[in-house]
Amino acid sequence: MDTIQSNKYNIYFENSLSELANFIEQGRYSRFFVLTDENTAVYCLPRLREKLGNPDNFDVIEINAGEESKDIDFCIGVWKMLIDFGADRQSLLINLGGGVISDLGGFAASTFKRGIDFVHVPTTLLSQVDASVGGKTGIDIDSIKNIIGTFTQPKAVFIDYEFLRTLPARQILSGTAEMLKHGLICDADYWNLLKESDLNNPTAELVYKSVAIKNRVVLEDPHEKNIRKSLNFGHTIGHAVETYSLINDEDSLSHGEAIAIGMICEAYLSYKKTGLSQAELTEITETLSNLYPRYELKTEYNDTLLEYMLKDKKNQNGKINCTLLSAIGQFNIDNICTNEELLEGLNYYASL
């Protein structure tokens, strides 16, 4: 699996932690900080330390696990830790964790002293195939997802498949949703390959293929003016459902579980609006429904869900904008959807 070239940085797969050791040795950094959460501190930090030869010049910043930490208050906490530890402009931040760590750490680093270098060591499937590639950083405010952030590229990404061994099954499936999305939006062969694979345990090759697809898309359109919007398939409705669940459910949906729901609803909108065939709609619905647990979408949630969709970054002029499919493997961007259409989409899922 060759190193992938992204926007002025490399994504390493083979012996990637040794590559990180090289990167550190070659960089002229004054100080190193590792951002972890309570889980990656236990499951991933020892391996990282060992592979780096147990360095003693690393300060660790640990935050709570979970989306609640991807918030301005935790961000301020990270900034203050960097201040207290005496981080300067030549410091490097190593984001060791899932998408929460890479989004928050990327944002904190890109704004600390007007920007210090950071690299990602993604430890969830989701962050390996999605969050660590593309240069989006972000935090939430009042549970509005990624409302604050920057476009800032990491200096490198180090993907180590071994980290996935301790990842709970549910978190694996969360990442699988984005892999399926990659197939649906631009690679029907990859979608078919995924369907034939054990998606509770995707191989390193499948991970690699997804990173390659995501990278191809973001390289063509780094600032999301056009084709990068393809990656939003499932995310207009999915993000609203994710936010709702985050606020209201004790055991809230994972990102991928919410996106799977969003993809089913938006596949229905694709069938209604952009030419997805009935057979393809059924194929998508069945594949996703077999893989992900049912979530009860009550009609009394509708107003709140629409309100969240209205606050979505992707909107213009107060109109809700969706990426849909015209076929499996063929995306279709900038579809304005009315409230009625969106409710129909939600209802399609609810009545399955």
Ligand X SMILES: NC(=O)c1ccc[n+]([C@@H]2O[C@H](COP(=O)([O-])OP(=O)(O)OC[C@H]3O[C@@H](n4cnc5c(N)ncnc54)[C@H](O)[C@@H]3O)[C@@H](O)[C@H]2O)c1
Q: Are 215 and 208 in contact (CB under 8 A)?
A: no
Strand-pairing partners, residue 151, are 136
Give whichever of 9 and 283 is closer to ligand X, judged by the CB atom. 9
Binding region for a second copy (CB under 8 A) = 30, 72, 76, 79-80, 83, 86, 88-90, 107, 110-115, 136-138, 141-142, 144, 146-151, 310-311, 313-318
Task: Give yes or no for residue 101 binding ligand X (CB under 6 A).
Answer: yes
Exposed/middle/buried for 148, CB within 10 Å: 0-12, 13-18, 19+? Answer: middle
- What are the backbone angles phi and psi of residue 134, rounded to the nearest 5°? 120, -10
Instruction: Give the distance between the most distant pair of CA atoms in the chain.
Output: 59
What SS3 state is found at 174?
A: helix
Stretch that binds ligand X, among 5-13, 65-73, 266-274, 294-302 (CB under 6 A): 65-73
Stretch that binds ligand X, among 35-43, 51-59, 188-196, 322-330 (CB under 6 A): 35-43
Q: Which amino acid, 119?
A: V
The one of ligand X, a second copy, none whose footprint includes residue 127, by CB under 5 to 8 A per kind, is: ligand X
Task: Give yes or no for residue 167 binding ligand X (CB under 6 A).
Answer: yes
Give whichever of 223 and 294 is closer to a second copy, judged by the CB atom. 223
Give whichever of 259 and 343 is closer to ligand X, judged by the CB atom. 259
Task: Give yes or no for residue 97 binding ligand X (CB under 6 A).
Answer: yes
Give whichever of 163 and 271 is closer to ligand X, judged by the CB atom. 163
Residue 228 makes CB contacts below 8 A (sequence gap 6+) with 134, 217, 218, 220, 221, 222
Distances, alpha carbon 62 to alpha carbons 42, 82, 259, in Å:
11, 12, 28
Stretch that binds ligand X, among 98-106, 197-205, 271-279, 326-334 (CB under 6 A): 98-106
Euclidean distance between CA atoms 153 and 59, whole angstroms = 22
Within 13 Å of residue 158, how many CA atoms lie on the same side as its CB? Answer: 24
Euclidean distance between CA atoms 115 and 91, whole angstroms = 10
Residue 350 makes CB contacts below 8 A (sequence gap 6+) with 296, 297, 298, 299
Task: Give yes or no for residue 335 binding ligand X (CB under 6 A).
Answer: no
Give whichever of 138 and 262 is closer to a second copy, judged by the CB atom. 138
Q: Are 94 and 32 in contact (CB under 8 A)?
A: yes
Stretch that binds ligand X, among 22-30, 79-87, 100-108, 265-273 (CB under 6 A): 100-108
Residue given tokens 């201040």 in the structure block: 83
Query: What is the C-alpha R_g of the chain?
Result: 20
The one of a second copy, ligand X, none whose footprint includes residue 144, by CB under 5 to 8 A per kind, is: a second copy
CB of 253 to ligand X, least distance (A): 11
Residues 171-210, interacting with ligand X (CB under 6 A): 171, 174
Stretch that binds ligand X, among 32-40, 71-79, 274-282, 328-336 (CB under 6 A): 32-40
Chain positions contacting ligand X, by CB under 6 A: 37, 39-40, 43-44, 65-67, 70, 97-101, 103, 123-124, 126-127, 130-131, 134, 136, 145-146, 163, 166-167, 171, 174, 255
